[in-house]
Amino acid sequence: MSAAFTLSLDAMGGDAAPSIVVKGAGLAHVRYPNVRFLLHGDEAQIKPLLDAEPALKSHCTIHHTTEVVSNDDKPSQVIRSGRQTSLWKAIEAVKNGEAAGVVSAGNTGALMAMAVLIMRTLPGVHRPAICCLLPTKVGESTMLDLGANAQCDARNLVEFAVMGECFSRAMLGLARPSVGLLNIGSEDLKGTDVLREAAQILRGSHLDIEFKGFIEGDDIAAGTVDVVVTDGFTGNVALKTMEGTAKLYSSFLRTAIKSSILAQIGMVFAQSVLSQVKARTDPRRYNGALLVGLNGIVVKSHGGTDALGFSNAIGVAVDMVERDLNTAIGQDLARIKAEQAAEAPAQVGS
Amino acid sequence: MSAAFTLSLDAMGGDAAPSIVVKGAGLAHVRYPNVRFLLHGDEAQIKPLLDAEPALKSHCTIHHTTEVVSNDDKPSQVIRSGRQTSLWKAIEAVKNGEAAGVVSAGNTGALMAMAVLIMRTLPGVHRPAICCLLPTKVGESTMLDLGANAQCDARNLVEFAVMGECFSRAMLGLARPSVGLLNIGSEDLKGTDVLREAAQILRGSHLDIEFKGFIEGDDIAAGTVDVVVTDGFTGNVALKTMEGTAKLYSSFLRTAIKSSILAQIGMVFAQSVLSQVKARTDPRRYNGALLVGLNGIVVKSHGGTDALGFSNAIGVAVDMVERDLNTAIGQDLARIKAEQAAEAPAQVGS
């Protein structure tokens, strides 16, 4: 039975908002009957949708606002002019203590910019990162940053390692998640100065982190480590490359099945194979990326997901609130900072 | 019928050398009966292998040397002390005009360093890149750089675009390959200054290049463009992520098949499905990366490939020699340089 708290939802974010948001909350309500929802958005659109979900309705409050952030809006602009938008209001509710966390399927850049401005980062965190779970050969791994910071220094990567390790413990219940830095593996050319510096800090640190050193692109899906740490550019390219390759593989599979009558007959019996593989690689199952490093729980849902996917993003927020992720991160970062200050001031970076 | 010329092979490079090199040459000989081979390496090991390939033997000359570059050797070291190695001798044969191109399954970093030192880069090329073909949903695409240059400036990326476009025309016979710059797609954060500068040069250029702007990770497998241009760090991570994801998908497939008797019965009929998918994603089929931008044809085979894979790497070298890739690249680069000098000297970079 889940604890009783409130989550703030940007009801107007996402391709099929507010419909998938309300339906997603309806599915989440079945799993987390004690969680309440604040729905920020246009009451005229939200109310009829809520009327169709009587079980959910008594657990919801609508906060009416008509302004919305679109996917084309520039983050730099909406943080100035967007204070009446459903996204801003949804984040503000966490800052004001009305909700324990926020979920949005809207504009990622705007969500990050507003969340940083309204909530500020956790003490010791210079840049928040986008973090999510991925399917691997041996289970699930955490990867970050997935696109918040196109360029990172060694200090950022070390902070990502700490935050990703805490996320992995909270989401997957691992006692001692292993951590790897994503690099290229070839002789003299092995990566950049930033990566070598980050590895040096992580190796030297007395933080209780199981640091495995450098890993390569094929280690992500192999599940070689529990936490894959990388800059937002590389992480975003790798994540989307995984999505694209999975689609390619299933398209090859469909083409091969269509090409032979015998194969089609066989696949009638082997139908479970395709549905099992589909289930294990279903992007909805992995929907819900955490904006980690903020003074509050902020979860980004894929904009194009459906109600089931959105309910999974709510599930990530519930897990993070219940497991008090930010307290764990704060403690670890305070520890690493104190150690660095005491032992090797020159290594900390500026 | 292929033209008559000679290729130089590093017989000692690769996990199972010299066996896979000689057997690979044997397979290549069937496809390219007019091509001759210089085999650089230990005659005592190579000769018995050649005796087992009588058809090939008359098309081969052994250049005896006992020194070899190992995978652990540092490129910076072997370019000083490795002048008697099979790798050095194999590259030198191209420089001396004894061979039209070289193929090695050995140490990538050493191959690149030695090739740059012995052959020098093409006029107008500041850094060579590693370039290969990848399977996509709609056919095959070219991607570069796959790991030669961990950090690149805009000028490097523009040169990669020109070289990749020429490679694509030569390998795939495309009249007008489309070119895209790999980036992350999100709002304000869209990439780095280097990428924006490279895009500006490519858009402004009167080179006859079909530049499609920025693409994202999932566009690689979708085949959105014919040529994917990126720095060596991102390209290497993306390539290995694709390999890892394809393995993950096929492992999910095998697990699903094993989990049900009905599925196993079905798969007896649908066996062709698995073998078709396997064939389309077979890494041996895509073996053979070109080190593009050098004064000579240099092809790198995967170190762990088999004879079939090595013969495909030889095939890449044959195609490049026959289609006179370097003349095409030289002409395009001279044109872009002349244009930039005439039109916008400030844009050229240093």
Per-residue pLDDT reduced to its tens digit, A304-335: 999 999 999 999 999 999 988 888 888 887 77
Helix spans in chain B (H): 19-31, 43-51, 54-57, 75-81, 86-95, 108-119, 154-172, 193-204, 217-222, 232-258, 261-269, 271-280, 307-322, 325-343
Tell if the CB–CB gap between B107 and A267 is shorter than 8 Å.
no
User: B190: helix, coil or strand?
Assistant: coil
Q: Whole-prediction pTM value?
A: 0.89
Distance from CA of B331 to the nearest CA of A (A): 30
- Is the pLDDT higher at B124 or at B43? B43
Kind and range of the H or E element at A19? helix A19-31
Whole-number mean pLDDT of chain A?
A: 90
Given the DSSP bridges, would you call strands B139-144 and B227-229 parallel, antiparallel or unpaired?
parallel
**pLDDT tens, residue by residue, B114-164:** 999 999 999 889 999 999 999 999 999 999 999 999 899 999 999 999 999
When CB atoms are compared, the residue of B184, B232, B274 closest to A237 is: B184
Predicted pLDDT at B344: 54
Inter-chain CB proximity B221 and A271 less than 8 Å: no
Contacts of A232 (CB under 8 A, 6+ apart): A129, A130, A145, A146, A147, A148, A149, A150, A151, A152, B184, B189
Contact B242 A245 (CB under 8 A): yes
Answer for the pair A191, B237: CB distance below 8 angstroms, yes or no.
Answer: no
Q: How far apart are CA B105 and CA B114, in angstroms?
A: 14
Beta bridge partners of B297: B101
In this predicted model, what pLDDT tens digit does every residue of B255-294 receive, in sequence order?
888 888 888 888 777 778 788 888 887 888 889 999 999 9
Question: Smallest CA–CA separation between A32 and chain B, in Å?
Answer: 30
pLDDT of residue B208: 75
Give residue A197's identity as a one-letter amino acid code. Answer: E
Task: Collect all residues of chain B within an 8 Å Cβ-Cβ radius of residue A244.
Answer: 217-222
CB contact under 8 A, B247 and A137: yes
Q: Give the C-alpha separation, B332 to A219, whole Å.
A: 38
The pair phi, psi for residue A123, each rounded to 5°, is -55, 130
Facing residue for A266 by CB, picked from B75, B241, B269: B269
Residue B77 forms contact with A (CB below 8 Å): no
- Put simply, whether B273 touches A (Cβ < 8 Å) is yes
Tokens of B76: 């910076």
Q: Do A150 and B191 make contact, defined as CB atoms within 8 angstroms?
A: yes
Which residues is A182 bridged to in the sheet?
Answer: A215
Q: Return the number of CB contacts < 8 Å for A and B.
A: 251
Q: In this predicted model, what pLDDT tens digit does every residue of B196-236 receive, in sequence order? A: 999 988 988 677 789 999 999 999 999 999 999 999 999 99
- Answer whether A41 touches B (CB < 8 Å): no
DSSP B297: E
- Give the torsion sign (CA, A261, A265, A268, A271): negative
Minimal Cβ distance to B242: which of A135, A233, A241: A241
List the Cα angle B26/B30/B31 in 5-degree steps. 120
CB contacts under 8 A, B 172-231 vs A, are 182, 184-189, 191-192, 216-222, 230
Tell me which residue in B243, B265, B277 faces A256 most closely, judged by beta carbons. B277
The kind and range of the H/E element at A179 are: strand A178-182
Interface test with B, best of A72, A269, A272, A281 (most B CBs within 10 A): A269
CA dihedral (B303, B306, B307, B310) positive or negative: negative
Q: Taking 70 as the threshold, does the pLDDT of residue B99 lie above it?
A: yes
Residues of B in contact with A109 (CB under 8 A): 186-189
- DSSP per residue over B60-124, as a string? EEEEE--B---TTS-HHHHHHH-TTBHHHHHHHHHHTTS-SEEEE-S-HHHHHHHHHHHH-BPTT
Which of A190, A140, A128 is closest to A168 using CA atoms?
A140
- What CA–CA distance (Å, rounded) separates B31 from B311? 9
Mean pLDDT for the stretch of residues A113-141: 94
Q: Would the pLDDT of A209 be above 90? A: no
Distances (CA, A) of B291 to A139, B45, B105, B120: 37, 28, 13, 12
Q: Is A348 on the interface with B (CB under 8 A)?
A: no
Cβ-based contacts of B194 with chain A (< 8 Å): none
Residue A71 in this model has a pLDDT that exceeds 50: yes
User: What is the interface pTM, i.e. ipTM, of the complex?
Assistant: 0.87
Q: Which domains does chain B possess?
A: 1-125+293-324 (3.40.718.10), 129-285 (3.40.718.10)
Q: In the structure encoding, which two tokens stand for residue B81, read together?
A: 């002390």
Task: Write the residue in A217, A241, A270 that is nearest to B266 by C-beta.
Answer: A270
Neighbours of B161 (CB within 10 A): 27
pLDDT bucket at B188, cuts 50 / 70 / 90: very low
Percent share of chain B, pLDDT over 70: 94
State the residue for tokens 């099929």.
A16
Rounded to whole angstroms, the Cα distance separating A48 from A46 reads 6
A77 shares contact with chain B (CB less than 8 Å): no
